[in-house]
Structure 1
Amino acid sequence: MSSIPVNVGEPGAHGFVGGYAVLGKLGSGGMGVVYLGRSPSGRQVALKVVHAQYAQDEEFRTRFRQEVAAARRVSGAFTAPVVDADPDAEQPWMATLYVPGRTLGSAVAEGGPLAGRELRLLALGLVEALRDIHRAGVVHRDLKPGNVLMAEDGPRVIDFGISHAADHQALTVTGRLMGTPPFMSPEQFASPRDVTAASDVFSLGSLLVYAATGEGPFDSDSPYLTGYRIVHEQPALGRTPQPLRSIVERCLDKDPHRRPGLGELQGLFSAMPDTAAPLPPAETPTESRPAGQDTADAWGNRVAAGGRARTRSAGKRRRPGRLVLAAGALAAVVVAGATTYHFASDGDGTDGKEEAASGAAAAPALPAGWRSWRTGLTQAVKEESTAVNVDTVDSGCVAAGTSVYCAGTGFTVARIDAATGRVRWRFGDNSQAAERPLGVRKGLVYVALPPDEDALYAPQRLVALDADTGKKVWTRTVDAGHPAALFSGGVLAMPEGGSEFVALDAATGKDLWRTPAKSTQGTGCSPLAQADAPYALCTDANDPFRGKIGFLRLDPADGTPRELDPLPQTAQPLGSVAGRPLFAALTTPDAADDNRLDAPYSALLTMDPDTGTLTRVPLKSTVQGTPHLLDGTVYFVRPDGTVTAIDAADGDRLWQKSTQVENLSAPTRSTTYDTLYFANRYGRLLSLDRATGAVRWTTDKLDDPGSSAEKRLPSVVLVKDAIVAVAGDTAFSVRPDQPRPPKAG
């Protein structure tokens, strides 16, 4: 069904969502509004309609679409199934079967803890619901009192809004852990992308303690302390009656592998008595929480923070002198969204890195007059102009002095003042495009402009621009199928046809030397610059995927070629370490066919340029992602935000971090803070400790990065210590100690 916009702000108002009549509002929260709806046949449904601001967010819309697909796989007697949805509507919506009844949170807050038969049936119903959910290949991830409805014929588990499919699709909001801290598992804090069905068993244990006592096993005065207790401390079960206590103790084991399975739990709960056991007395005075004062989740479901009489066992728990949280815990619990950056730490027992917030770190060196800024990179296009496809070139910026020089589809080349974001000059208009600049040397910016016609391997222009004025200094026509490369003596390129190499004088564009493009492996050659020296890769021109890759070192003075050891077909050039070219080797020649951004690699290859000897350095285990070489370390960056650091010298894994920030750029390094910075497609920034991979901070995405965010690869560079990133159609700059993304002006 297509969606019909609804305007029903108050109960009793009328409207339609996807053909469902809206009868009234059931609740509302940060993510959307839940309405009571009725189908044409009279069936009642709960309609979850996404807020308008999220409907315009393609990142959120993609996630919502995946959520719906995951939730549709779940059906059972103790769940509320999805009956209809339209994630592509102007305002995405999802309809689930309406279940009349209070939430478990409301039932406990208003009627007190459950006991005896009522508690046993709740436990058995939840086990059966989780069994149905897990059989569908879904992990719920947010089992809490507000997501359990107490229907007349048994409990119903609802809201798979942040569930995670077992096939590891990313279904959480980028850059944040999702869940409700009192009912999350330790692994949701420490490694949220790796949670399994055992995480729901831990949440079930916390939920049943709450149902039986009116308080959770890890309750505290703040969500920060709650997160610490879940990860590091034992649950408070003194008021939990037997035999439930013995069962939930096993559910709340920190090690997910030691928790009982649902089949075993069903047997244990079935043996629980129908007679209510008295609650042990509270150990400390209680603090009252009036009924109806529960908090609300993202959809407006009531989430009780406790029962009618909540107890604090302050004398039984140790309050740490310095709070140490697991990975991303702060991001998970800053639910109000009052700040746009989130300092975090890892669950390895080390203190979180919050130097920038506390002022303990060195003050950043910024360009004179720097301020936070954002600049649109596009400009008006003449009506008769036709822009080329947005994903045909590699967009991004290079830094030189106190400026950045940016290029890409739809904005050609622009010089931007890194202190203010002011565009000093532009070259061309939006109907043209330029690759990310090759670099800046001695006052010239070198860029490659694609041909006017969209023809494969047509000639392109290699242009040198005056860095101060943007005026063209020289231009040469080169082969578009073989990207040029800067080296210490000039620019290495191939004339049209690709039968020879030509070295161009960097200042004038005139020929320095020419040499035939051929090796013992074939004549299908491409230029390459490694360690600021000219090289070439050559394959069989008729069958480039057969045999090995010829590797030539070209003399910078006259182009004389010297053939080095051939490379395997799996080799991907990364750069150089100590003057030696470095390559990453795919597991198989076709390993990148399905997803080149997440291809598996099994080894690193180093070439001695003096002896021509190739050395293979096997990785201890296969690593996936896009490899980037930076200061002797190879960082493999996966689309899901996992970053793996590999020592380029010996192939040892230094660390691996699941950052929860998807579609990341190549990293850049701050020597001031010994930190890595990344940007994602939507302008979200990420800072990792270079030595450990610990998340130092993340930011929210830009409020409007532009229409091309889905298709463009992001980039990030440093100008002194100022961070300059490109996402979509937008360049922006923040300071590392106050990384707040600037708003659209």
Structure 2
Amino acid sequence: MPLSAGDPERIGDYALEGRLGSGGMGVVHLARSASGRRVAVKVVHQQFAEDDEFRTRFRQEVAAARRVSGAFTAPVVDADPDAERPWMATLYVPGPTLSERLTDGGPLDAGELRQLALGMVEALSDIHRVGVVHRDLKPANVLMADDGPRVIDFGISRAGDNQALTVTGRVMGTPPFMSPEQLSRPREVTAASDVFSLGALLVYAATGSSPFDAESPYMTAYQVVHEPPALEEVAQPLRGIVERCLAKDPAARPGLPELERLLGEVPSNGVIRVDVATTKRRGRSGALRTWATTLSGIRRRRPVLAAVTAAAALALGAGTVALVNSPSGGVRSGGAAGPEGEPSAPERKVALPKGWRPWQLSLVDASGVDDEAKRLKGLSGDVSGRCHGVGTALYCGGEGFPTIRVDGVTGRVVWRTKDLAEDSAEGMLESQPSGVRDGRVIVHDDPSDSSPRVVALNTQTGRKSWSQQISDSTDTALFGHGVLVTDPGDRSLTAWKVTTGERLWTIPVPRGRLCTAAAYGDVPYALCVEDYAGESGNARYIVLRLDPRTGTPKELARLKDVQDPLGLVGRELLVPHQDLDKGLSGYSSATWVDVRTGATRTAALPDNARGEPTLVDGRVYFVQESGRVTAVDGRNGKQLWSEPTTVERLGRPLMSERESTVYLSSTSGRLLALNPRTGKERWQSEARSVTGGLGGEPAQVLRVGGAVVALASDGTLFSVDPLRPDAEPAKSPAPGGLSHPPRSGATPVPAALEG
């Protein structure tokens, strides 16, 4: 690719000629030395260059890569980890990555696979001989040169005689190609971990799929640790070899000399794949193994090969999966007293509800599911929970437990529904509330072995009022007195009356489009992708405003390379544009679409527009996994402030104007309060969960009067006083502690709790 406008002409002694790729950690350039030698120069992104921890890890990468040399590795020729933007130059190896090779030509044949396998064993032998463990062996880190593979990127390697660089709450790697010990015992990783990764990589090269595929990297990580690999597409004798490589116990895996002998016996013209076209590979409870696209609103699933390839090609550095957040530490104040600091004795601006006390409970325990369901739920301790609050009532649901109602004042369980579907094989539920309207809780009910449906539960009793089957690929939206869904088959959208389930209207979806429901300003919208082929960057994105009474659509805009609108700023929808040069979570610009006229305007976003964006009171908050929070003016895209925090994996922010505070929570339930004018930390609390979770739903913060309620990723729900966030919670009522024994699966509640 050609150089970008902001790229320098030279790095060190090397003249840059073009870009080889870009990802979340940095940019790789093609360059030449004064003598004409071609090199690949990896340059770290500016925001990481300012991070001392990252510089330490980069120095470790350079040191590890310099120790390794061999026919099947790309040697380091120069580096400057102390430069303003750290860089490293390796010998340029012409040829695609393994992931690119499979994208263009499909799985390898027997001869190509044999050459790859033996070359990889030799490369690992060179790496391990100098006491280094690679720890990120994946398709994007293997170059397919004409004379054999080359292993690159030692970004998260560890030398056996070095102290490991540790980061609280993180395990570094790429889940489909990580070993179980990397995910569960990262300090115990040995050279056997690379053998496991090699086994997974060979399965991918032979079949186009990893042996551990799921709907998210987090589910994949669970499979790596707990489930057997999917090897039904791999023919013998290769299957027996990779099966040994993929043993959960590191001691049971073959050493490299034995592995070289075994792979040498695999014929170069034999059969390496079994045709399973008539018996599609399926995951948990028979669900087809797929991976979601990057379009946030459209839950359309597509084969894992394309997603793994795209993610691997963009990696260019260590991936990150946050696993454990230690619950150590307590409230810590930030900032000094003064105009820009925090008062030493903050005043209460919003009164606590009458009778409130700090409380904490487990939603899984409170829902009353049996021990077997709890065990099956334990996908690394993550329940993908979600809550909606109305007055003092909280309605919560998630993976592995049904929707329940909790009194936000005391933490008492008011009712638990029994009117949601269960997975017939595992007795599990998947229920996520989409919202509360007109005395109904609207729940997306999606067990893995049956058709999804939208269910309306009575807010007083928890009993089902009505239900309708819906598409398994799109979202549900509430507007006015209606619920908008995409119908099964994705050929129409229907609005149902919230209270009765009566059909309000239906509009067809033209062939070649995939549309999902949305609502902004209590008006329904359809967000559609046209000529959809599984890659959002190649599709036209169409925003349709629907008449709430008739469903009549009005096309507002056609865009490209965008995510779903974040919400309304005045009468304009704010739509962010992805920038893959910044990685999958980076944004380059935003478009504002006038919802009356369809007129559009576009403005650039700052370089720190990275992470999960949320529109709150006219501001866009970009929250990075590392803990950096950036505030951007929602009217013009100008940066207001960008501050690093010490809390990782934060969820969506909640703004309190009266308290002049932005609240966020981490997946481990560590609360963080920021000054909205400066982004400076006011305080943070101790963690409420021993796990940071692996799941896709971010942590959540809600308000019940002056109290703050937060939901951690393992289903820990708790309420605190923002002036004393670490006060010991009172003992909550027992999980079964309803006011009266439930009748037909639910209990009536006092009208006062309806809010």
When normalised by structure 1's length, the TM-score is 0.51
Give the conservation status (yes or no) of the 8 Å contact 2:431–2:445.
Answer: yes
Alignment of 1:52-63 (within 5 A): none
Instruction: Tell whether 2:660 aligns with 1:664.
Output: no
How far 1:710 sits from its partner (Å)?
6.4
Cα 1:498–1:133 change in 2 (3 A) is closer
**C-alpha distance 669-497 of structure 1, shift in aligned 2 (>3 A):** same
Q: Is 2:682 the counterpart of 1:693?
A: no
What whole-Å deviation, never above 9, does each CA across 1:465-496 have from its counterpart, x for those lacking one?
11122111111111121111111140100111
Partner of 1:396: 386
Choose the corresponding residue for 1:718, options 700, 703, 727. Answer: 703
Q: Does structure 1 residue 442 correspond to structure 2 residue 427?
A: no
Are 2:582 and 2:610, in contact at CA under 8 Å, matched by a contact in 1? no
Q: How does 1:345-424 map to 2 (within 5 A)?
A: 345=335, 351-355=340-344, 358=345, 360-379=346-365, 381-382=369-370, 387=376, 390=379, 394-424=384-414
- Aligned match for 1:676, one of 653, 657, 662: 662
DSSP 3-state at the match of 1:692: coil
Write the deviation string for residues 291-344 of structure 1: whole angstroms up to 9, x where unpaired.
xxxxxxxxxxxxxxxxxxxxxxxxxxxxxxxxxxxxxxxxxxxxxx99821111
Secondary structure at 1:475 match in 2 = strand
8 Å contact 1:604–1:648 — kept in the other structure? no
The answer to whether 1:470 aligns with 2:466 is no
Amino acid corresponding to residue 685 of structure 2 in structure 1: T
| Aligned equivalents of 1:634, 1:365: Cα separation in 2 | 28
CA 1:74–1:536 in structure 2 vs 1: closer, same or farther (change >3 Å)? closer
Note the 1:730-745 alignment, pairs <5 A: 730-740=716-726, 742=728
Q: 1:437, CA displacement in angstroms?
A: 1.6
How many residues align? The count is 422
Q: State the match for 1:574 in structure 2.
A: 566
For 1:48-447, list aligned pairs within 5 A: 171=166, 173=168, 340-345=330-335, 351-355=340-344, 358=345, 360-379=346-365, 381-382=369-370, 387=376, 390=379, 394-428=384-418, 431-447=427-443
- The corresponding residue for 1:639 is 625
Change (3 A) 1:710 1:449: closer
Distance 1:423 1:586, change over 3 A: same
Q: Which amino acid aligns with 1:642?
A: R
User: How far apart are residue 725 of structure 1 and its match?
Assistant: 0.4
Residue by residue over 1:33-66, the C-alpha shift from the partner in whole angstroms, topping out at 9 and shown as x without a partner, is xxxxxxxxxxxxxxxxxxxxxxxxxxxxxxxx99
Post-superposition CA distance 1:492-524 (Å, at most 9, x none) = 0011101001010011112100011139xx422
SS of aligned partner of 1:480: coil
C-alpha distance in 1, partners of 2:565/2:379? 25
Equivalent-residue separation in structure 2 for 1:530 and 1:406 (angstroms): 23
Offset of residue 415 of structure 1: 0.9
Partner of 1:505 in structure 2? Answer: 497
State the Cα distance separating 1:354 from its structure 2 match: 3.5
Query: For 1:604, which of 583, 590, 596 is the aligned residue?
Result: 590
* Distance in 1 (alpha carbons) for counterparts of 2:462 and 2:515: 32
Contact 1:364 1:737 in 2 (8 A): no
Aligned partner of 2:528 in structure 1 is 538
Q: One-letter code of the match for 2:507?
A: T
* Structure 1 counterpart of 2:726, one-letter code: R
**One-letter amino acid of the structure 2 residue matched with residue 450 of structure 1:** D
Deviations for 1:135-189, whole angstroms, at most 9, x for unmatched residues?
A: 9x99xxxxxxxxxxxxxxxxxxxxxxxxxx999x9955589xxxxxxxxxxxxxx
Structure 2 CA distance, aligned partners of 1:741 and 1:433?
Answer: 34
Q: Return the alpha-carbon distance in structure 2 between the equivalents of residues 637 and 383 of structure 1.
A: 36
Post-superposition shift, 1:617?
2.0
Which whole-Å CA distance do the structure 1 matches of 2:166 and 2:632 have between them?
28
Q: Tell me how far apart the structure 2 counterparts of residues 362 and 376 of structure 1 sit (CA, whole Å).
A: 28
Query: Contact conserved, 1:701 with 1:741, CA < 8 A, in 2?
Result: no
Q: Equivalents in 2 of 1:740, 1:68: separation in Å?
A: 33
The match for 1:655 is 641
Amino acid at match of 1:444: R
Shift in Å at residue 603 of structure 1? 1.2
1:412 deviation in Å? 2.4
1:516 is matched with 508
Report the residue type matching 1:648 in the other structure.
G
Distance 1:587 1:729 in 2: 33
Letter in 1 for 2:556: L
Shift of 1:352: 2.6
* Partner secondary structure for residue 533 of structure 2: coil
Q: Are 1:621 and 2:607 an aligned pair?
A: yes
Partner Cα distance (2:476, 2:695) in 1: 27
Counterpart CA distance in 2 for 1:534 and 1:420 is: 36
- When residues 656 and 134 of structure 1 are mapped into structure 2, their CA distance, relative to the original with a 3 A threshold, is closer
Deviation string 1:406-463 (CA, Å, 9 cap, x unpaired) is: 111122211111111111111248944445421111221111010341xxxx631211
8 Å CA contact retained: 2:652, 2:698: no
What is the rounded CA distance, in whole Å, between the counterparts of 2:409 and 2:55 in structure 1?
42
Q: Which amino acid aligns with 2:522?
A: D
Q: Report SS of the residue matched to 1:479.
A: coil
User: Which structure 1 segments of 5+ residues have no match?
Assistant: 1-64, 77-130, 139-164, 176-336
The 3-state SS of whatever aligns with 1:437 is strand
Bigger relative contact order, structure 1 or 2 (CA pairs below 8 A, ≥6 apart) = 2
Distance 1:535 1:395 in 2: 25
SS of the residue 1:639 aligns to: coil
Contact 1:575 1:582 in 2 (8 A): yes
Shift of 1:548: 1.6
- The answer (yes or no) to whether the contact 1:463–1:475 under 8 Å persists in 2 is yes
TM-score, length basis structure 2: 0.51
Distance 1:67 1:566 in 2: 42
1:708–1:729 CA contact under 8 A, matched in 2:
no
Query: RMSD of the TM alignment (CA)?
Result: 3.9
Q: Secondary structure at the match of 1:378?
A: helix
Q: In the aligned structure 1, how far is the partner of 2:629 from the partner of 2:654?
A: 13
Cα distance change on mapping 1:622 and 1:643 into 2, 3 Å: closer
Residue 460 of structure 1 pairs with residue 452 of structure 2: yes
Query: Post-superposition shift, 1:67?
Result: 13
Q: Which runs of 5+ in 2 are unaligned?
A: 1-52, 65-78, 87-153, 157-163, 171-326, 732-755
Partners of 1:534 and 1:484 in 2: how far apart? 11
Post-superposition offset of 1:364: 3.5
Residues in 2 aligned to 1:691 and 1:510: alpha-carbon distance in whole angstroms: 47
C-alpha offsets along residues 637-663 of structure 1, whole Å, 9 cap, x if unaligned?
A: 000000000001011111111111100
CA distance in 2, matches of 1:425, 1:496: 31
| Residue 707 to residue 669, structure 1, CA distance change in 2 (3 Å) | closer
Structure number with greater Rg is 1
2:476 match: 484
